[in-house]
C-alpha cells in the first residue's frame, strides 16, 4: 500500500487534515503532478519570453492569467482527493 502523508504545520489540536495517497487515487495524483509540471514549464517560458523583466504582451498576459486559473483548479482537484 502506498501511503504519503503531509504533516500539519499547525499543532494537531487545530484539526489540520493530513493528505493521504492510496493506490486508489495514485493515478489521479500522478496526472495532477504531470499537469503541474507542464504548467510550470509554461510559466517559465512566459518569464523567459519577457526577458526576465516580467513585462508581457496582452496575449501573453492572458495566457498567464489562464495558467494561474488552471493551477488553482489543480490545487482544488488535489484537495478533493485528500
Give residue-wise pLDDT tens across range 18-64. 766 667 778 888 888 899 999 999 989 988 888 878 788 899 999 99
> What is the phi-psi region of residue 52: left when phi exceeds 0, alpha when psi lies from -120 to 50, beta otherwise?
left
pTM: 0.59
b/e code 44-73 from CB counts within 10 Å (16+ = b): eebeeeeeeeeeeeeeeeebbeebeeeeee
From residue 28, alpha-carbon distances to 20, 23, 61 in Å are 13, 10, 29
From CA 41, how far away is CA 67, in angstroms rounded?
Answer: 11
Q: Which three cell numbers stand for residue 53?
A: 523583466
Amino acid at each position: 500500500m502506498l501511503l504519503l502523508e503531509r504533516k500539519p504545520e499547525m499543532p494537531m489540536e487545530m484539526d489540520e487534515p493530513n493528505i493521504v495517497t492510496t493506490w486508489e487515487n495514485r493515478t489521479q495524483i500522478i496526472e495532477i503532478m504531470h499537469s503541474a509540471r507542464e504548467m510550470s514549464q509554461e510559466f517559465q517560458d512566459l518569464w523567459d519570453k519577457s526577458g526576465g523583466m516580467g513585462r508581457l504582451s496582452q496575449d501573453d498576459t492572458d495566457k498567464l492569467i489562464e495558467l494561474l486559473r488552471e493551477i488553482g483548479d489543480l490545487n482544488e482537484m488535489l484537495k478533493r482527493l485528500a
